[in-house]
Amino acid sequence: MLSALSDIKKLREKNAQAEVFKKRRSVMQRQEDLAQAKQELQRFENWRIQEEHRLYDEIMGSEVGLKEIDNVKHQIGLLRLKEVSLAEKFEQSKQELKQAEAALVQADLALAEAGKAVEKCQMLIDRINADASVEAQRNEDLELEEASESRFMISKN
């Protein structure tokens, strides 16, 4: 029965180790996602600034109608909207990384608890085995003592 209990505790520890491994992979993936989102945002910011300058340069120094000016403003607005979207994606990636790191901490704690449970179970098994060994030795000593006494009594008679 104790062996089965020990096996269950070890299985739980193994499952906890697998969960920690899974959470570590998740954290690494979220870190990569965050780096990619940051790089994408930075590249777009740099490109957007250049594109805005290009659009303004196209209309500067020439006669253009209000429609062309509104069109440039609209294009710039779309570019800035895209930038906001990428910034939100970056922030979302940061939040997902924080959540993955928190989940990893929880998984590490669960693994530590599972390890302690295995250790406690093994200590209990060792103690029971030691007690049983002591009891067996005591019984053997009693049997030897009784056998010696009965031989002694037989030899007296």
- Give tens-digit pLDDT for 74-126: 999 999 999 999 999 999 999 999 999 999 999 999 999 999 999 999 999 99
What's the CA dihedral at 79, 84, 85, 89 to 10 degrees? Answer: 140
Confidence of residue 59 (pLDDT cuts 50, 70, 90): confident
pLDDT for res 2: 79
On whether the pTM is more than 0.75, the answer is no
Tokens 């067996």 -> residue: 136
State the CB neighbour count (10 A cutoff) for residue 86.
Answer: 19
Q: Is the separation of the CB atoms in 76 and 49 below 8 Å?
A: no
pLDDT for res 66: 87
Dmax (CA) of the chain:
140
* Full set of structural domains in the chain with CATH: 2-156 (1.10.287.1700)
Q: Which secondary-structure segment (H or E) carries 139? A: helix 66-156
pLDDT for res 147: 73
Residue 130, both tokens: 């030691």
Per-residue buried b or exposed e for 115-140, using 16+ beta carbons within 10 Å of the residue's own CB: eebbeebeeeeeeeeeeeeeeeeeee
Residue 33, both tokens: 């996602």
**Amino acid identity, position 24:** R
Q: Quote the radius of gyration of the chain (alpha carbons, Å).
A: 38
Angle subtended at Cα 55 by Cα 52 and Cα 56, rounded to the nearest 5 degrees: 85
